[in-house]
């Protein structure tokens, strides 16, 4: 039997526990739940109602109609788990006319250069380190977005995404997936209400495996099921949001906030409110701006029930902070956040750059 490194075995064992013969998989395509854009991440992902830029293709496609330029491009890079995992986003959105916008987004979440030690020992039983190769574990998605103002209903905007998903674990396994999202925003007086239905029709990933006899033997010895080709289904998620911004001191200072309610329907999760079939998690984000030039942001999310070292039930929260600068056609946002264990100081630093091209304010 070949020897697998701990890191290699870790990534291989992630697969059978979640998608073996599964029709509905809990925590499926979770890389699409991490979030894009430092502004949103600094506000604890409370962003489905206030998003107004190219990242709306991810958060709520209806928000693309709030961008104030004909063409906008955005880039984001983040590193998680002490730099082991890289998360990248690139997006572009183009206004077609005064009532419609299209967008294109690409997301990649990957762990690169994982040692593959399945061939470490040769046929004669000798350890040969030159036989060690590497592979990548990559999750990627392309989102095609369309947003439109509903002129017959004042204040209503709608949008939709068609997304193509590619997940690949070296030469061991891979999946192709397809799904749809739908979003809406409604302005009422000074308030905006929003709804974002992710995977509204269910997102389907078709997995195929290419495991050698040595890897299959390793799975059997370690007590893991040998994966078989299967279909993984991501069930819908509904995010409801409400936002408002107050302008004070001759409109020099803006104070905005957004509250989200994240509803999942794939069984009980470790959230504040939960049942056997439905769970709900709140998230709150705040933003303080000065002359629409510099912004200070913060948020609280990932509120969960947990047990401490003594076994006592406690409620944990994840605080996030960030800053942003907007100057003419350029925008730069920064967030400090942690998607891992909130009990540690392992924080992630996230940067987003946005550029408005052929800027033209839309009234």
**Any idea what the CATH number is for the domain that residue 121 is in?**
2.40.160
Is position 106 within any domain?
yes
* Full pLDDT tens readout for the chain, 363 residues: 344 444 444 444 444 334 444 457 677 899 999 999 999 999 999 999 999 999 999 999 999 999 989 999 999 999 887 788 999 999 999 999 999 999 999 999 999 998 887 777 777 778 888 778 889 999 999 999 999 999 999 999 999 999 999 999 998 899 999 999 999 999 999 999 999 999 999 999 999 998 877 777 767 777 788 888 889 999 999 999 999 999 999 989 999 999 999 999 988 888 889 999 899 999 999 999 999 999 999 999 988 877 777 878 888 888 999 999 999 999 999 999 875 554 455 678 899 999 999 865 544
Torsion 253-350-41-330 (CA) sign = positive
DSSP states of 275-295 as a string?
-SS-EEEEEEEEEEEETTTEE
Cα–Cα distance for residue pair 64/46, rounded to 1 Å: 16
Is position 248 within any domain?
yes
Is 62 within 8 Å of 192 (Cβ atoms)? Answer: no
Is position 1 within any domain?
no
Is position 230 within any domain?
yes
Is position 239 within any domain?
yes
Read off the pTM. 0.86
Partners of 81 in beta bridges: none
Longest pairwise C-alpha distance within the chain: 81
Number of domains making up the chain: 1
Strands 191-198 and 348-359: what pairing?
unpaired
**Domain membership of residue 89 as a residue range:** 6-359
Closest listed residue to residue 237, CA positions, set 188, 271, 186: 271
H/E run at residue 19: helix 16-19
Is position 345 within any domain?
yes
DSSP SS3 for 220: helix
Cα–Cα distance for residue pair 233/87, rounded to 1 Å: 23
């Amino acid at each position: 039997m070949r020897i697998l490194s701990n890191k290699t075995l870790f990534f291989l064992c992630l697969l059978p526990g979640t998608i073996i013969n599964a029709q509905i998989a809990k925590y499926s395509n979770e890389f699409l739940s991490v979030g894009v854009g430092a502004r949103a991440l600094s506000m604890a992902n409370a962003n489905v109602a206030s998003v107004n830029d190219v990242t709306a293709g991810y958060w709520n496609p209806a928000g693309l109609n709030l961008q104030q330029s004909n063409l906008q491009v955005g880039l984001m890079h983040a590193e998680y788990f002490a730099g082991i995992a890289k998360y990248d986003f690139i997006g572009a959105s183009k206004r077609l006319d005064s009532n419609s916008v299209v967008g294109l987004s690409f997301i990649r979440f990957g762990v690169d250069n994982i040692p593959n030690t399945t061939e470490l020992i040769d046929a004669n039983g000798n350890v040969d380190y030159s036989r060690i190769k590497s592979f990548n574990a990559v999750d990627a998605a392309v989102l095609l977005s369309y947003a439109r103002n509903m002129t017959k209903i004042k204040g209503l905007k709608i949008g939709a995404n068609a997304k193509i998903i590619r997940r690949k674990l070296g030469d061991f396994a891979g999946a192709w997936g397809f799904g749809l999202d739908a979003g809406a925003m409604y302005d009422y007086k000074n308030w905006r209400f929003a709804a974002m239905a992710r995977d509204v029709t269910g997102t389907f990933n078709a997995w195929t495996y290419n495991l050698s006899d040595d890897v299959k033997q390793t799975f059997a010895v370690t007590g893991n099921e040998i994966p078989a080709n299967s279909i993984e289904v991501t069930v819908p998620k509904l995010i409801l949001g409400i936002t408002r911004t107050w302008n004070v001191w001759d409109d020099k200072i803006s104070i905005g906030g957004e509250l989200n309610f994240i509803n999942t329907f794939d069984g009980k999760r470790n959230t504040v409110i939960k049942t056997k079939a439905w769970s709900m998690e709140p998230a709150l984000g705040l933003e303080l701006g000065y002359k629409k030039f510099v912004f200070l942001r913060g948020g609280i999310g990932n509120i969960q029930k947990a047990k401490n070292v003594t076994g006592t039930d406690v409620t944990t929260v994840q605080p996030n902070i960030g800053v942003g600068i907007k100057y003419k056609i350029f925008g730069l946002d920064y967030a400090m956040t942690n998607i891992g264990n909130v009990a540690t100081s392992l924080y992630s630093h996230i940067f987003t750059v946005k550029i408005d091209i052929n800027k033209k304010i839309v009234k």
